[in-house]
Amino acid sequence: MLQASLILQAFHQIGVTDVVGLPDNCSAALIRSLGEDSEIPFHAVTREGEAFALAAGLWIGNRNPLVLIQNTGLLESGDSLRGTLQRMRIPVVCLITYRGFARSRQSLAETLDVERLSRPELDSVALLTEPTLKAWSLSFDFLNSDQDIGKLATAYAKAQEVSGPVALLLTQDTE
């Protein structure tokens, strides 16, 4: 499990001013930590697509937001990501919890087809997450353990460099 306190500490180090997202089980501890932090507010949305629009507005208002959503919501909100953060060239780190990663990891290299996507033991969103990010030309990396927390600063620098969104996939729950 990833330590929510270490992630929050990294947010402070890279200057995150706001976290926008939709809570899920994987990010629950991180959101609780944000609730106890007086410097970085968590702005809950009702749909993931709203997170990208709100983050864009915060950035236009001279803030440094971070988006926190689940991979299922990423797929649901793709047009909002494309139409705001990518099209407007807004540098935002998107922290995406990777539902189904552990169970599907060995199957990710196999060709996607309707048979694989409908197998009950696999979470089809896990099979579609990385190919979707690649199709959208969205740079991404993995946050697998506490030793990877430094990747938040790298992702932030990359978002600034490309003037656009960059994704970090959380493959573990936060605690």
pLDDT in tens, 105-160: 666 667 788 887 888 877 888 889 999 999 999 999 999 999 999 999 999 999 99
What's the pLDDT at 122?
A: 77
| Position 11, amino acid | F
Q: Is residue 104's pLDDT more than 80? A: no
d(CA 79, CA 76) in angstroms, rounded, equals: 8
Please state the rounded mean pLDDT for residues 47-54: 96
Please state the rounded mean pLDDT for residues 87-92: 97
pTM higher than 0.75:
yes
Q: Is residue 166's pLDDT more than 70? A: yes
Domains annotated on the chain, with CATH? 4-170 (3.40.50.970)
Q: Is residue 87's pLDDT more than 90? A: yes
Sheet containing 166-170, strands listed edge to edge, beginning at the edge strand earlier in sequence: 42-44, 18-21, 65-70, 93-97, 166-170, 140-143
